[in-house]
């Protein structure tokens, strides 16, 4: 009997056809992926740059003409085109990779089958049964047909990528993707961080309350008992007041209604990845919740001295949490959070000048991932940075022993530094008349030009003034004058242009809360809960009466339209008139 040649078998022919088809299919898919990649690398950056430039131009025009429907429609179209291009490329790459993997796998299986059929086999008598022969032929045809369907489906999938379409955004949501962070106007209307917009202690609202009494309840809209202790200041966004509380055993974040004082939600801060469970070393007056939170209009952020950073949406849903490592700070961590557009900025200063422990972090607000991280040659401090606009772009300005340092915000690159400070720093810097004002406690007020570069210790200092500079309270300015409030009650008024002392006044009280300006008046809140008011002017003018919440206070108040929110040692207060008139 003639020995059968494996190449003559139906199985061999089927495997061979499948191998050829899958091999050709895989080569075509691979070639298309390579062509797509080369096209992206050569033309994509330029194309995206064009789209971005066009969008930026349209967004700038929209800010000037917010009611221009034609302009909004053009922004929708550009946004849709950008998203379509992105998802088409992503879908092509993702599906192409899977198809290539499937094609290669089928090719390898077919090749393996061919190799096994080519091995010498014992001769078997050829079956004379016509039913068996027909069955083998049907199996071969079925296998080829299945493979053909797979290949055809693959080509159809690739072809469909060129027709990928996205639904355009509705008119209600069309502008939202364009502006991913709050506008300046929104930030000024709210109180989103320590000392409000820019960290300057300035309120744009004119109808600020002027009289209330905690004992009688007059002028007190509501009073809510706090659950865990903390000295962080309240922040406000819309109808929501946020603050945090903590002790040795627990950490919590709270959200209250601005209108009623009702607790809308509270959430524990626990199960944070990276937290070792080790307790931080804290100073009793600082406590476990000294850092003021921040809100960007979509999310709220909180930080604690054990290194836990956590993010919630405005309804209390936990979005992300991470740990930056246990703080090494003599008095405990008290620096407050700052945000810039989509970035959460954390001045995490600790240790001594030469320890390389201090770091400035920029985290992506939506995810908590590190965007950039800059090591700082400074010791631990309790100051909070500010964001300023200067020549060449925006900067974040920090104050820690011994440097005032400014960084650009895209990558955290240092712009300038000035060796002006010393140990135990608490007052934060401010920005007015194009100058940065920094305080060396009990000694000097400095005015610094932020447009210098490199070492600005001499070249950047516009003027300096030896004075009883505050050791805790941060300065405040109306743009023309700088006001310094010492802890022992000494208030000084200085000319922002040259540092000249205009007037002084001494209060028989102790202060830790930083002063604010609202409605043309400086609001000064003492430890005893007494609110003094002084006209923010060149002539000293004191308000005829004072107000009081009748409770120990160390946190800085938040100013809203017709409302002031004050955190006491035991309670949270909201003061104001019934119709937000300030009367």
**DSSP string spanning 212-235?**
-BTTT-TTEEEEEE-SS---PPPE
Give the model's pLDDT for residue 328. 82
How does pLDDT run across 201-234, given as a tens digit for each residue? 999 999 999 999 999 999 999 999 999 999 999 9
**C-alpha distance from residue 540 to each of 42, 98, 526 (Å):** 66, 76, 19
pLDDT of 276 > 70? The answer is yes
Give the model's pLDDT for residue 136. 57
pLDDT of 167 > 50? The answer is no
Mean per-residue pLDDT for 266-272? 97
pLDDT confidence bin for 583, thresholds 50/70/90: very low
Residue 100, phi then psi, degrees to nearest 5:
-65, -40
Give the model's pLDDT for residue 579. 44
User: Which one, of 466, 459, 418, lies nearest residue 445 by Cα?
Assistant: 466
Nearby residues of 409 by Cβ (< 8 Å), 6 or more positions away: 340, 343, 362, 387, 393, 394, 395, 396
Give the model's pLDDT for residue 37. 60
- Tell me which of 172 and 282 has the higher pLDDT: 282
Give the model's pLDDT for residue 71. 66
Show the tokens assigned to 291: 């850092």
User: Which one, of 328, 454, 371, lies nearest residue 360 by Cα?
Assistant: 371
pLDDT of 149 > 70? The answer is no
pLDDT of 189 > 60? The answer is yes
pLDDT of 191 > 80? The answer is yes
pLDDT of 479 > 70? The answer is yes
Show the tokens assigned to 102: 């499937």
Give the model's pLDDT for residue 150. 56
User: Which one, of 577, 570, 470, 484, lies nearest residue 529 by Cα?
Assistant: 570
DSSP symbols for 228-293? S---PPPEEETTEEEEEEE-SS-EEEEEEETTT--EEEEEE----TT---PPPP--TTT-S--S--
CB 494 within 8 A of CB 478: no
Helix (H, G, I), strand (E, B) or coil at 184: helix
**C-alpha distance from residue 363 to each of 113, 123, 278, 460 (Å):** 54, 72, 24, 30
Q: Taking each helix axis from N to C terminus, what angle separates 130-161 and 10-64, rounded to the nearest 10 degrees?
A: 20
pLDDT of 384 > 90? The answer is yes
pTM tops 0.75, yes or no: no
Give the model's pLDDT for residue 44. 47
pLDDT confidence bin for 168, thresholds 50/70/90: very low
pLDDT of 110 > 90? The answer is no
- How many CA atoms does the CB half-sphere of 529 hold within 13 Å? 19
Show the tokens assigned to 534: 């002084």
pLDDT of 371 > 60? The answer is yes
Instruction: Report the percentage of the chain scoring pLDDT > 70.
Output: 73
pLDDT of 200 > 70? The answer is yes
Nearby residues of 229 by Cβ (< 8 Å), 6 or more positions away: 245, 246, 247, 287, 288, 289, 569
Mean per-residue pLDDT for 64-84? 62
Measure the CA–CA gap between 557 and 563, rounded to whole angstroms.
10
pLDDT of 573 > 80? The answer is yes
- Tell me which of 301 and 20 has the higher pLDDT: 301
Which domains, and CATH codes, for the chain?
Answer: 6-161 (no CATH), 184-575 (2.130.10.10)
Mean per-residue pLDDT for 558-579? 92
**Burial of residue 196, with CB atoms counted within 10 A of its CB: 0-12 exposed, 13-18 middle, 19 or more buried:** buried
Rounded to an integer, what is the distance from CA 245 to the centroid of its chain? 21
- Tell me which of 399 and 26 has the higher pLDDT: 399
How does pLDDT run across 501-519, given as a tens digit for each residue? 999 999 999 999 999 999 9
pLDDT of 366 > 50? The answer is yes
Give the model's pLDDT for residue 19. 72
Give the model's pLDDT for residue 254. 98
- Tell me which of 446 and 50 has the higher pLDDT: 446
Measured from the Cβ of residue 125, the count of other Cβ atoms closer than 10 Å reads 7
pLDDT confidence bin for 178, thresholds 50/70/90: very low
pLDDT of 3 > 60? The answer is no
How does pLDDT run across 230-250, given as a tens digit for each residue? 999 999 999 999 999 999 999
Measure the CA–CA gap between 344 and 339, rounded to whole angstroms.
4
Most confident of 182-186, 422-426, 535-539: 535-539
Give the model's pLDDT for residue 169. 43
Helix (H, G, I), strand (E, B) or coil at 433: coil
Rounded to an integer, what is the distance from CA 580 to the centroid of its chain? 32
**C-alpha distance from residue 182 to each of 340, 360, 366 (Å):** 10, 23, 14
- How high is the mean pLDDT of the chain? 84
The least confident of 2-16, 170-184, 283-297 is 170-184
DSSP symbols for 466-524? ES---SSSPPEE-SSEEEEE-TTSEEEEEETTT--EEEEEE-SS-B-SPPEEETTEEEE
Pairing mode, strands 393-400 and 386-390 = antiparallel
Beta bridge partners of 312: 300, 318
Residue 492, phi then psi, degrees to nearest 5:
-120, 145
Give the model's pLDDT for residue 21. 73
pLDDT confidence bin for 133, thresholds 50/70/90: low
- Tell me which of 149 and 288 has the higher pLDDT: 288
Give the model's pLDDT for residue 153. 60
For tokens 């600790």, name the residue: 350
Measure the CA–CA gap between 536 and 261, rounded to whole angstroms.
31
Give the model's pLDDT for residue 482. 98
Measure the CA–CA gap between 40 and 46, rounded to whole angstroms.
10
8-state DSSP, 3: P
Give the model's pLDDT for residue 26. 72
Query: What would you measure as the largest C-alpha separation in the chain, in angstroms?
Result: 124
Show the tokens assigned to 194: 């320590």
Give the model's pLDDT for residue 31. 73
Show the tokens assigned to 491: 């208030």
pLDDT of 86 > 80? The answer is no
Give the model's pLDDT for residue 264. 98
């Amino acid at each position: 009997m003639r020995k059968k040649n494996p190449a003559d078998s139906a199985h061999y022919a089927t495997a061979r056809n499948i191998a050829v088809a899958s091999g050709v299919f895989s080569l075509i898919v691979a070639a298309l992926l390579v062509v797509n990649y080369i096209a992206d690398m050569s033309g994509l950056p330029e194309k995206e740059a064009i789209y971005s430039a066009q969008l930026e131009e349209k967004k700038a025009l929209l800010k000037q003409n917010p009611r221009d429907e034609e302009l909004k429609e053009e922004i929708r179209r550009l946004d849709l085109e950008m998203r379509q291009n992105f998802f088409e490329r992503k879908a092509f790459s993702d599906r192409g990779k899977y198809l290539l993997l499937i094609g290669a796998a089928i090719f390898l299986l077919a090749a393996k089958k061919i190799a096994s059929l080519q091995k010498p086999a014992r001769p078997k008598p050829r079956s004379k049964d016509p039913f068996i022969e027909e069955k083998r032929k049907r199996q071969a045809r079925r296998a080829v047909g299945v493979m053909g369907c797979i290949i055809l489906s693959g080509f159809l999938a690739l072809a469909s990528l060129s027709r990928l379409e996205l639904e355009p955004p509705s008119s209600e949501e069309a502008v939202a993707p364009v502006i991913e962070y709050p506008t300046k106007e929104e930030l000024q209307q709210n109180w989103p961080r320590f000392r409000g917009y820019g960290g300057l202690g300035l309120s744009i609202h004119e109808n600020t309350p002027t009289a209330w009494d905690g004992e009688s309840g007059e002028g007190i809209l509501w009073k809510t008992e706090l659950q865990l202790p903390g000295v962080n200041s309240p922040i406000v966004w819309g109808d929501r007041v946020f603050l945090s509380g903590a002790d040795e055993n627990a950490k919590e974040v709270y959200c209250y209604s601005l209108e009623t004082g009702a607790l809308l939600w509270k959430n524990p801060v626990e199960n944070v990845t990276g937290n070792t469970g080790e307790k931080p070393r804290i100073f009793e007056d600082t406590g476990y919740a000294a850092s003021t939170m921040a809100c960007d209009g979509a999310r709220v952020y909180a930080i604690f001295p054990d290194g836990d950073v956590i993010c919630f949406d405005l309804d209390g849903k936990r979005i992300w949490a991470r740990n930056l490592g246990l703080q090494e700070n003599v008095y405990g961590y008290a620096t407050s959070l700052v945000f810039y557009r989509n970035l959460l900025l954390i001045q995490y200063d600790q240790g001594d000048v030469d320890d390389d422990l201090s770091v400035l972090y920029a985290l992506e607000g939506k995810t908590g991932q590190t965007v950039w991280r800059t090591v700082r040659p400074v010791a631990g401090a309790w100051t909070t940075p500010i964001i300023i606009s200067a020549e060449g772009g925006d900067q974040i300005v920090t104050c820690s022993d011994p440097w005032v340092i400014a960084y650009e915000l895209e990558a955290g690159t240092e712009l300038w530094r000035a060796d002006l400070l010393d140990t135990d720093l608490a007052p934060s810097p401010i920005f007015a008349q194009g100058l940065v004002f920094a305080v060396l406690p009990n000694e000097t007020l400095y005015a610094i030009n932020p447009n210098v570069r490199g070492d600005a210790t001499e070249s950047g200092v516009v003027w300096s003034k030896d004075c009883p500079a505050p050791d805790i309270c941060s300065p405040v300015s109306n743009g023309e004058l700088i006001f310094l409030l010492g802890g022992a009650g000494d208030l000084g008024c200085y000319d922002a242009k040259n540092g000249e002392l205009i007037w002084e006044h001494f209060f028989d009280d102790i202060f830790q809360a930083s002063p604010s300006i609202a409605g043309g008046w400086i609001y000064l809140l003492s430890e005893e809960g007494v609110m003094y008011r002084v006209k923010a002017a060149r002539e000293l003018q004191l308000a005829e009466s004072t107000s009081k919440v009748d409770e120990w206070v160390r946190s800085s108040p938040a100013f809203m339209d017709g409302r002031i929110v004050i955190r006491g040692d035991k309670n949270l207060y909201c003061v104001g008139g019934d119709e937000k008139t300030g009367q």
